[in-house]
Amino acid sequence: MKIKRILSLMLRHFYLIKASLPRIIDLIYWPTVQIILWGFISKFFTMHSTYFNNTVGIILSAAILYDFLFRSSISYNMLFLEEIWSRNLINLFISPLKVGEIVIALTCTALLRTLIGLVPAVLIAIPLFGISLLELGYPLILLLLSLYIFGITLGLLVTSGLVRFGPSFENIAWASLFFIAPIGCIYYPVEILPTWLQPVALALPLAHIFEETRSILINHTINYSNIYYALMLNVVYLGVALLTFCQSFKSAKVKGSLINVGE
Amino acid sequence: MKQLEINNLQKKFDDFEAVKKITFSIAANQTVALLGPNGCGKTTTIAMILGLITPTSGSITINHQLLTKDHHYLSKMNFASPYVELPKKLKVIENLKVYAMMYEVANAKAKIEQLVEELNLAPILYKKTGELSSGQRNRVSLAKALINDPEILLLDEPTASLDPDTGDFIRTFLETYKKKNSMAILLASHNMDEVTRLSDYVLMMKEGSIIDEGTATDLIKKHGRQDLEEVFLKLARQHEN
């Protein structure tokens, strides 16, 4: 594992981002619109029912956290897709870069892309809706960490599909998070789901992360078991994703599909 | 000294045998041309040497070291092809910096300056790679392929779709560069004049096998033809109805 090689791939994506203002605007635009939209929807609920008194804080915090997950995963996929679109993958695969170095470089760069998009949106929510993620206290760090790991896990799984099946897998890359969102219990508690679906939801870190977010915001109590379960599940899923990525890379080399990934 | 040795290399894709246990070697400072009709197994052979495809059987030895899962050898090898592009949104200088870093080039600045001068890249250095003409792009691609002073250079149709002047510039550059730097070159090309000019040895492939080999002059003489193109046509059409 060589830090210089990891930095070289990060530098390639840094050059790409800094050279294009539309690219930077695109990174910031979507999370900001998303948060403003959810902010107004939540405000509307609050004004029309006492039941929804604390809704703005809960829904908006959930929206911000979900967007953090969404951005991390999409950023990861985007970085890989950029290489496919620019027909540069072969140059990377024939370089001394190891698979682990590619994964680390993409993981770090995805975080940079995610923060570029999300920090302005989070800052806008403070004056506009009086909501600050910092209200979640120090567990926020663990929740963000959990979300980031899960985002990268999904990114790795989609990237495995791209390596194995080529750009035809691109649509799955965009849709991957929408598949999981309904059982992620982002905006509602797990109990809302049909009984048979609840174990499936609880097998995902998302349900635990968002249950914990609501617990902190509504009850002002920290339930460490939720955080613990989320992190443990993340370790398992990340392990599976890494194995899948390595396996798909190996399989693509046997099938000869690596040389056609960009076509 | 043999820089690259290919021994009984075979690749099967399910029932289709793309490369049929071929054997050849390239010495240091030697250019070997790999010729053959489309689909004869050239790209698969190159891809196996580059580690992009896992061989079904056989061995690839570089500097007497068996190619294994260890990718250490990749730092001593490079590849250029007009069909593999560098990131288009990056400036030429940025691409060169990225790849110099990726290959851990010791004195990257000096190496880039040397290549910029030799390949006449100064006028396009701060242009985006995607805005360049095919000739300019080929020169940049070649600069990237030489950034790590490779001991083995693989070239896939390095002058495809170039005008005669640019094509000649690339060929002259390769001749001069090889004289100054000891390097084994494996050249896949459909341009027979280029092959005759650049290669020391020619391998003729057909349907996954090497069906003939020798120097360009020897092959022309052996088959009683005027030039290598005629030899190519004769061998490619052999056994065809």
pLDDT band at B93 (very low <50, low <70, confident <90, very high): very high
- Residue A92: its pLDDT value, please? 92
Give the residue from chain B lying closest to A11, CA to CA. B98
Least confident piece of the model among A5-9, A44-48, B45-49, B198-202: A44-48
- Residue A200: its pLDDT value, please? 94
pLDDT band at B179 (very low <50, low <70, confident <90, very high): confident
* Cα distance between residue A221 and residue A227, in whole Å: 12
> What is the Cα A211 distance to its own chain's centre?
18
Give the residue from chain B lying closest to A5, CA to CA. B102
Chain B residues near residue A13 by CB distance under 8 angstroms: none
Q: How far is A44 from chain B (nearest CA, A)?
A: 44
> What is the Cα B211 distance to its own chain's centre?
20
pLDDT in tens, B64-78: 788 765 567 888 899
Across the beta sheet with B201-206, the strand order is B77-80, B152-156, B184-188, B31-35, B201-206, B209-214
- Residue B150: its pLDDT value, please? 94
> What is the Cα A166 distance to its own chain's centre?
22
Range 57-116 of A in CB contact (< 8 A) with B: 82-83, 86-88, 90-91, 93-98
- Name the one residue in this structure whose structure tokens are 């210089």: A4
Chain B residues near residue A163 by CB distance under 8 angstroms: none
CA atoms within 13 A on the CB side of B67: 25
pLDDT in tens, B128-175: 999 999 899 999 999 999 999 999 999 998 888 788 888 899 999 999
Average pLDDT for residues A226-249, to the nearest whole number?
A: 94
Residue A249 CB: number of other CB atoms within 10 A?
A: 17
Give the residue from chain B lying closest to A259, CA to CA. B52
Contact between B86 and A2 using a beta-carbon 8 Å cutoff? no
pLDDT in tens, A35-83: 888 888 888 877 776 666 666 778 888 888 898 898 888 888 888 888 8
Which uninterrupted H or E stretch holds B27? Answer: strand B16-27
pLDDT in tens, A112-165: 988 888 888 888 888 888 877 777 888 888 999 999 999 999 999 988 988 888
- Give ipTM to 2 decimals: 0.90
Q: Determine contact, residues A219/B19, Cβ cutoff 8 Å.
A: no
What beta strand segments (E) does B41-111 contain? 57-62, 65-66, 77-80
Give the residue from chain B lying closest to A249, CA to CA. B52
Give the residue from chain A lying closest to B148, CA to CA. A95
Least confident piece of the model among A2-6, A50-54, A90-94, B167-171: A50-54
- Residue B241: its pLDDT value, please? 46
Nearest beta carbon to residue A12 from set B11, B98, B104:
B98
Chain B contact for A40, CB < 8 A? no
Nearest beta carbon to residue A87 from set B74, B85, B99:
B85
Q: How far is A220 from chain B (nearest CA, A)?
A: 49
Q: What is the pTM of this model?
A: 0.88
- Residue A63: its pLDDT value, please? 87
The number of helices, as runs of H, and strands, as runs of E, in chain A is 10, 0
Max Cα–Cα distance, chain A, nearest Å? 62
Q: Nearest Cα to B99, choosing from B128, B141, B159, B153?
A: B141
Contact between A8 and B75 using a beta-carbon 8 Å cutoff? no
Average pLDDT for residues B85-103, to the nearest whole number?
A: 95
- The larger pLDDT score, comparing residue A35 to residue A167, is at A35
Q: Determine contact, residues A133/A59, Cβ cutoff 8 Å.
A: no
* Cα distance between residue A162 and residue B13, in whole Å: 20
Chain A contact for B86, CB < 8 A? yes
What average pLDDT does chain A have?
87
pLDDT in tens, A182-199: 898 998 999 999 999 999
Q: Is the pLDDT of residue B23 over 80?
A: yes
> What is the Cα B111 distance to its own chain's centre?
21
Q: Which of A12, A26, A79 should one mutate to test binding to chain B, selecting the residue with the greatest count of B CBs within 10 A?
A: A12
Which residues face B80 on adjacent strands?
Answer: B155
Contact between B101 and A97 using a beta-carbon 8 Å cutoff? no
Report the amino acid identity of residue B135: G
- Angle subtended at Cα A173 by Cα A203 and Cα B82, rounded to the nearest 5 degrees: 145
